[in-house]
């Protein structure tokens, strides 16, 4: 009996040991003391895997931990190849083997796409989707390159939105987006005074036949062209990141919206509205879905589709926009979402398995407001619907508090991938830096407290909704204003601002200068004729129309006048002049 009891004890001990071994998580490498410059939720840490490998776009991580990076151009590293293979041989988390390869040539543009599927490494150029069979144990594939898909559009190289990220479902299909060849389906032979195509859209839009959508193909075939696929979803201007979500067996993509609203439609959209609109989208694409480009756009402020101004919209009219599908969520305009990732690892807290990570490259055209984006966010989701609101997951890429110009941002987030141990990898495109993000806390105790500091990050100038006046970076230049004043104004109001004591009133200590700014802007912009009372004296001269001056010039003149003659510290902004111009000039 004692012998049997002893055997049972030993047997149970062995089972416990085996079970413990099965649940054992490999020890994670040491993080960088400063997390590689990243700001993350509590108990998340990061290290820099590699730096300055070239202008990195999307990334993929193999089952053995090898990392593959797609560069912007084939000659990014002096012609050594457009794909980079990274391997960590001493298991410290950092790449000590870096190899450039790829017997293909990118023909320009910002082609993206590198994916591992069924043992193949897929890479995308502007014109083609390629694949190589991965060789077990080898970093660089030894197989010949197969051409999976060729884009036969003769103008594809000049199409800025032609990016071909890939997604594979669990039914044997491959999904490829074909981006729109222009901003809003305009007539590309007609240009406005600003040098960009005029805003009126073509009806019907001919581009929808072969562009601005997602096509589905047989994932087991090669030598394909667009004609071999079926149009799966449409009305999607530019998709740069796409992934199949196994949780609900659906295809999701992140979409870049239309630009230049203020430039194309200055009477309908202020520069502030144009900085925020239209929304950047996270969409759930189902067979036959239509998200409205170019006829409609999603307004995240109103939380609905509205008619695109090139088709008769004014920012409020819904009209036929009501017929189109709406996104899962709309983000602020021009944030440039580049990649989406549904986390499938076991290292992070369980909440991160219900939702999507999105990398925002950051804006280029939000002027005169701060450029925005430049973060990785997390969108909590369940059954394809957002639960609560999106969260800042990784910050610190910009390196500055306010991004005035896009080049001010030190790094621009680009690609996302999950490693075999559940670590999250992030690439950036300025220099080619890659981070590995790890969770080292108690997964069962992660909650709102750990996210509190990240929620506060939403007050950053490159994340928050800008204040229409306070955050306008284009205020009048007083030095420039003094020159313009002496050119256009001094002949009447005199250089000392005291007028001629006859027809032209003084500006010094005038309530017209120190008072309502909109009234003052209107007078300078549109002129004034008739009696005017200044400092208890009546004047009856003629103030000429100055609408030929641009917004910044008028803002500069008035900033100078208010500072010198009215002792007002607050400058007039371009935005304020633009608003008055929109209201008063027909």
Output the pLDDT for position 15. Answer: 40
Mean pLDDT confidence for 358-367: 94
Label residue 23 by pLDDT band (50, 70, 90).
very low
- Give a yes or no: residue 510 inside a domain: yes
Torsional class of 581: left (φ above 0), alpha (ψ -120 to 50), beta (otherwise): alpha
- Give a yes or no: residue 520 inside a domain: yes
Residue 515 lies in domain: 478-584
Output the pLDDT for position 75. Answer: 47
Label residue 160 by pLDDT band (50, 70, 90).
low
In the chain, % of residues over pLDDT 70: 90
How do residues 256-269 score in pLDDT, each as one tens digit? 999 989 888 888 99
- Give a yes or no: residue 525 inside a domain: yes
Query: What burial letters (b/e) apply to 284-295, b meaning 16+ CB within 10 Å?
Result: bbeeebbbbbbb
Q: Which helix (H) or strand (E) holds 580?
A: helix 574-584
Label residue 7 by pLDDT band (50, 70, 90).
very low
Output the pLDDT for position 552. Answer: 86
- Tokens representing 239? 């998709």
How do residues 313-324 score in pLDDT, each as one tens digit? 999 999 999 999
Output the pLDDT for position 584. Answer: 81
Query: β-pairing, 296-299 with 413-418?
Result: unpaired
Bridge partners (DSSP) listed for residue 471:
none
Q: Which of 196-205, 417-426, 513-522, 562-571 is modeled with the greatest confidence?
A: 417-426
Distance CA 503, CA 285 (A): 67
Query: Per the structure, how many domains does the chain have?
Result: 1
Cis peptide before 368 (omega within 30 of 0): yes
- Give a yes or no: residue 303 inside a domain: no
- More confidently predicted of 40 and 27: 40
Q: Is pLDDT at 193 greater than 70 in this prediction? A: no
Mean pLDDT confidence for 226-247: 97
- Give a yes or no: residue 567 inside a domain: yes
How do residues 537-549 score in pLDDT, each as one tens digit? 888 878 888 888 8
How do residues 209-230 score in pLDDT, each as one tens digit? 999 999 999 999 999 999 999 9
Q: Is pLDDT at 384 greater than 60 in this prediction? A: yes
- Give a yes or no: residue 177 inside a domain: no
3-state secondary structure of 162: coil
Classify residue 150 as exposed, middle or buried by CB count within 10 Å of its CB (0-12, 13-18, 19+). middle
What's the CATH code of the domain at 482? 1.10.760.10
- Give a yes or no: residue 230 inside a domain: no
Percent helix / strand / coil, the chain, rounded to 5: 20, 25, 50
- Give a yes or no: residue 488 inside a domain: yes
Mean pLDDT confidence for 133-154: 94
Q: Is pLDDT at 25 greater than 80 in this prediction? A: no
Q: Which of 158-162, 399-403, 552-556 is modeled with the greatest confidence?
A: 399-403
Q: Is pLDDT at 493 greater than 50 in this prediction? A: yes
Work out the mean pLDDT of the chain and round it to a whole number: 89
Those residues with Cβ within 8 angstroms of residue 77's Cβ, 6 or more apart along the chain or in another chain: 53, 54, 71, 84, 100
């Amino acid at each position: 009996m004692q012998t049997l009891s002893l055997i049972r004890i030993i047997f149970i001990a062995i089972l416990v040991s085996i079970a413990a071994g099965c649940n054992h998580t490999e020890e994670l490498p040491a993080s960088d003391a400063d997390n590689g410059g990243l700001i993350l939720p509590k108990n998340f840490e990061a290290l820099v895997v590699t730096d300055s490998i070239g202008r990195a776009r999307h990334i993929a991580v193999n089952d053995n931990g090898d990392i593959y990076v797609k560069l912007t151009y084939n000659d990014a590293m002096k012609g050594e190849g457009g794909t980079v293979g990274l391997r960590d041989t001493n298991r410290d988390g950092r790449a000590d083997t870096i190899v450039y390869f790829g017997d293909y040539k990118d023909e320009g543009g910002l082609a993206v796409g590198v994916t591992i599927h069924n043992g193949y490494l897929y890479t995308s150029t502007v014109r083609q989707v390629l694949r190589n069979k991965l060789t077990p144990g080898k970093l660089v594939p030894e197989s010949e390159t197969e051409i999976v898909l060729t884009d036969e559009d003769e103008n594809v190289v000049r199409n800025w939105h032609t990016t071909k990220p890939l997604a594979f479902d669990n039914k044997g299909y491959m999904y490829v987006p074909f981006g729109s060849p222009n901003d809003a389906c305009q007539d590309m032979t007609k240009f406005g005074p600003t040098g960009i195509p005029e805003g009126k859209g073509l009806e019907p839009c001919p581009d929808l036949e072969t562009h601005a959508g997602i096509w589905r193909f047989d994932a087991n075939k090669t030598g394909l062209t667009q004609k071999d696929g079926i149009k799966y979803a449409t009305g999607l201007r530019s998709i740069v990141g796409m992934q199949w979500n196994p949780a609900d067996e659906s295809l999701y993509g992140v979409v870049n919206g239309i630009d230049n609203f203020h430039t194309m439609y200055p009477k309908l959209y202020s520069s502030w509205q144009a900085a925020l609109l239209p929304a950047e989208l996270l969409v759930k694409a189902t067979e036959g879905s239509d998200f409205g480009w170019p006829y409609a756009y999603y307004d995240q402020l109103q939380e609905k589709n509205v008619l695109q101004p090139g088709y008769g919209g004014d920012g409020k009219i819904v009209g036929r926009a009501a017929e189109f599908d709406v996104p899962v969520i709309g983000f602020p305009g021009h944030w440039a979402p580049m990649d989406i990732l549904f986390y499938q690892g076991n290292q992070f807290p369980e909440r991160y398995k219900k939702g999507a990570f999105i990398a925002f490259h950051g804006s280029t055209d939000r002027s005169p407001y701060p450029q925005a984006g430049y973060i990785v966010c997390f969108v909590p989701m369940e059954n394809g619907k957002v639960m609560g609101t999106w969260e800042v997951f990784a910050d610190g890429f910009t390196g500055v508090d306010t991004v005035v110009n896009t080049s001010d941002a030190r790094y621009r987030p680009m690609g996302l991938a999950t490693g075999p141990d559940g670590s999250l990898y992030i690439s950036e495109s300025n220099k080619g830096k890659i981070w590995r993000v790890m969770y080292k806390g108690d997964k069962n105790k992660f909650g709102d407290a750990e996210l509190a500091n990240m929620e506060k990050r939403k007050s950053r100038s490159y994340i928050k909704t800008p204040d229409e006046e306070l955050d306008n970076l284009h205020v009048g230049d007083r030095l420039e204003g003094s020159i313009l004043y002496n050119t256009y104004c001094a002949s009447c109001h005199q250089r000392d601002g005291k007028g001629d004591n006859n027809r032209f009133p003084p500006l010094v200590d005038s309530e017209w200068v120190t008072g309502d700014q909109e009234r003052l802007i209107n007078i300078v912009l549109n002129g004034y004729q008739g009696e005017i009372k200044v400092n208890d004296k009546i004047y009856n001269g003629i103030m000429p129309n100055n609408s030929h001056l641009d917004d910044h010039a008028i803002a500069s003149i008035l900033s100078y006048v208010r500072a010198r003659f009215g002792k007002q510290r607050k400058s007039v902004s371009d935005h304020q002049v633009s608003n008055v111009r929109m209201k008063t000039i027909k």
